[in-house]
Amino acid sequence: MQHCIEEILENCRRYTLDGEVASYIPELSKANREEIGIYVATEDGDFFAGDWEKPFTIQSIAKTIFLMLAAKDNGIDFVKAHVGVEATGKSFNAIDYAEPLLLREHINPMVNIGAIAVCGMVKAVSNEERFQRLMTFSRRIMENDELQIDEEVYASEKKTGNKNRALAYLLKNSDMIYGSVEELLDVYFAMCSLKVNCRDLARMALVLAHHGKNVHTGEQVIPEEDAVFMNAVLTTSGMYDGSGEFATTVGIPAKSGVGGGIMADCPGRMGIGIYSPALDKKGNSVAGIRMLEVLSKSQKLSIF
């Protein structure tokens, strides 16, 4: 497997030149588009290549964390009653929702408007407690007690995040979030600025691959039914409005982020963390998708 991972990375390195780094968050524009890394975590051992240790911000992959903890706190039925699970066919930060009262039927937890609502479902008496609970959960599921927020990216997101503010106030107007919009957005922006590497993502993915269980400790981190629910949502909506194409070419649950990361899991087998910040027009890592496509075909990973 180690040789396979190294070969895949080198063969896909050229695709880093086909995309562009995210620039709508100014701090993200500083990324080196030619960096590329992969980490595969299995029950029996780990395999890695390239710039897998390079820290980057988790961005939209944080939506997976929001959903896991909100479902654990409230139950899947509660989450589904407030935020739908159907693929939207819209970009991740779309704001063209004509009927606010119908939001629940037209959003899901993997687009920004749905993720902000789900973030608010994490139980806490204050947004500071909500942030601390999300950080504790992130460190636990990634097996990394050293995880921290990238303060520069957080400040950049907060300064330029007016579209997310508009989405949050739309939710507020529809009685889908309560309390201070700005305080909740502070939690959202901070969690999207969580600094991770490929191994962190692979460890989180490995928990989902084994139905919510940490295979290293034997701990059931999230209920098995929640992990099944998570993988279904990731399969249908995790790769933005490119999820359908990804399902046909790669065929495993995955979540991408505009920081260049992809977290993917093959149920029962492995967790995968990818980093390559050159993105396609939908916000997905170009080389990252290529690596996953080749890996899926060579190892017969597709769940379909």
Single-letter amino acid code for the residue at 79: V
Tokens of 215: 């295979």
The yes-or-no answer on residue 240 being catalytic is yes
Q: Which of 15, 39, 154, 240 is catalytic?
A: 240
The yes-or-no answer on residue 60 being catalytic is yes
The yes-or-no answer on residue 24 being catalytic is no
The yes-or-no answer on residue 97 being catalytic is no
Sign of the CA dihedral 136, 29, 244, 85? Answer: positive
Phi then psi for residue 303, to 5 deg, are: -85, -5
> What stretch of H or E contains 304?
none
- Which residue in the block uniquely carries the two structure tokens 């990818």? 274
Rounded distance between C-alpha atoms, residue 272 and residue 136, angstroms:
22
Tokens of 118: 């789900």
Neighbouring-strand partners of residue 255: 263
The yes-or-no answer on residue 163 being catalytic is no
Q: Which of 15, 39, 154, 188 is catalytic?
A: 188
Whether 270 and 209 have beta carbons less than 8 Å apart is answered as yes
Q: Which of 15, 40, 63, 118 is catalytic?
A: 63
Whether 52 and 275 have beta carbons less than 8 Å apart is answered as yes
Secondary structure string (H, E, C) spanning 183-197: HHHHHHHHHHCEEEC
> What stretch of H or E contains 111?
none
Rounded distance between C-alpha atoms, residue 152 and residue 150, angstroms:
6
Catalytic sites, residue numbers: 60, 63, 188, 240, 258
